[in-house]
């Protein structure tokens, strides 16, 4: 599977996309899915405190049963260890830090993308952000292994521009880092040509999923998921959960986390009816 440049991908208004629930059997068209999905906003609702984004036991059971019949990977901006702890399933693959840190069954653990070289810059930027934003009400500077997320969801409206300006200034001080936008966050990430889409491609190659009868499906809700949607366009299926502030390269839509679970359940049952399962 070749990577498709984002600039070539078709973009749509999320509200105009057809529902992925309309006809799941027709959607996968006899192929066996390989499912990749974000955590926040897909497996757990978006909440003010990232530490409280807890997945329900029902969703966990759905994921477990889906992973019994096809490959499933959680691709998150969270640290890989953090998202593993939240999901608590050992038959899934986990791509944390936007795919810079990947683990899975049979003791898989690798860190593709070359992000280790950016750690000193992240350390320095973290200290500066903590100092310059310490008096801003509601701001959260979250250090991850290969990123820093500056959350401003709980910041008073008249202080948001200050948070964004300071963050932009700190990024500009470190050429090893680049900006990563998201829902009410701005991230500092390694300035490398690596993203969720490339993590999906890496997993497809590593797991020998580049087969004519395999259909990659990526489910995401955030701007950071657009790289994966664009990468798979024309070769797989992108499913947008809800909407964000920009047009999307996804081609189908689900409304919320509840619909994600319904879709995953339908996918599991559809796969089980196929002759090769």
Low-confidence stretches of the chain (pLDDT < 70) are 1-7, 276-277
Nearest 5 degrees, angle CA 224-CA 185-CA 80?
A: 60
Strand partners, 150: 141, 186
Q: How far is CA 15 from CA 19, 51, 90, 238, 271, in A?
A: 10, 29, 35, 14, 28
Fold for domain 115-190? Alpha-Beta Plaits (3.30.70)
Residues paired with residue 186 on neighbouring β-strands, in sequence order: 150, 181
Compute φ and ψ for 235, nearest 5 degrees. -125, -15
CB burial string 158-197: b at 16+ within 10 A, e below: ebbebbbebbeebbeebebbeebebbebbbbbbbbebbbb
Q: What is the pTM of this model?
A: 0.86
Are the C-beta atoms of residues 41 and 75 closer than 8 Å to each other? no
Residue 2's pLDDT is 44
66 with 35: CB under 8 angstroms? yes
CA–CA separation, 45 and 40 (whole Å): 6
What's the pLDDT score for residue 202? 95
| pLDDT for position 3 | 44
- Residue numbers annotated as active site: 38
pLDDT of residue 276: 62
Fold classification of 6-111+194-272 (topology level): Rossmann fold (3.40.50)
Domain ranges, ordered by start, for the chain: 6-111+194-272, 115-190
Distance of CA 174 to the CA centre of its chain: 25
């Amino acid at each position: 599977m070749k990577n498709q440049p984002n600039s070539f991908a078709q973009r749509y208004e999320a509200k105009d996309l057809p529902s992925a629930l309309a006809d799941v059997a027709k959607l996968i068209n006899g192929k066996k899915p390989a499912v990749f999905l974000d955590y926040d906003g897909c497996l757990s609702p978006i909440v003010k405190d990232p530490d409280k984004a807890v997945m329900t036991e029902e969703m966990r059971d759905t994921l477990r049963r889906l992973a019994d019949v096809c490959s499933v990977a959680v691709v998150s901006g969270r640290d890989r260890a953090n998202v593993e702890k939240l999901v608590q399933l050992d038959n899934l693959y986990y791509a944390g830090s936007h795919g810079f840190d990947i683990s899975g069954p049979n003791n898989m653990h690798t860190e593709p993308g070359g992000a280790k070289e950016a750690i000193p810059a992240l350390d320095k930027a973290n200290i500066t952000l903590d100092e310059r934003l310490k008096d801003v009400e509601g701001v959260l500077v979250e250090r991850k292994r290969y990123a820093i997320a500056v959350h401003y969801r709980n910041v008073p409206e008249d202080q948001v521009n200050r948070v964004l300006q300071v963050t932009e200034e700190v990024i500009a001080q470190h050429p090893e880092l680049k900006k990563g936008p998201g829902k009410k966050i701005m991230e500092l990430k390694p300035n490398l040509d690596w993203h969720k889409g490339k993590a999906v491609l890496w997993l497809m190659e590593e797991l020998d999923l580049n087969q004519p009868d395999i259909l990659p499906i990526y489910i995401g809700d955030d701007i950071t998921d657009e790289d994966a949607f664009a990468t798979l366009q024309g070769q797989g299926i992108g499913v947008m959960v809800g909407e964000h502030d920009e047009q999307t390269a996804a081609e189908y839509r689900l409304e919320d986390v509840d619909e994600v679970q319904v879709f995953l359940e339908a996918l599991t049952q559809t796969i089980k009816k196929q002759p090769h399962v």
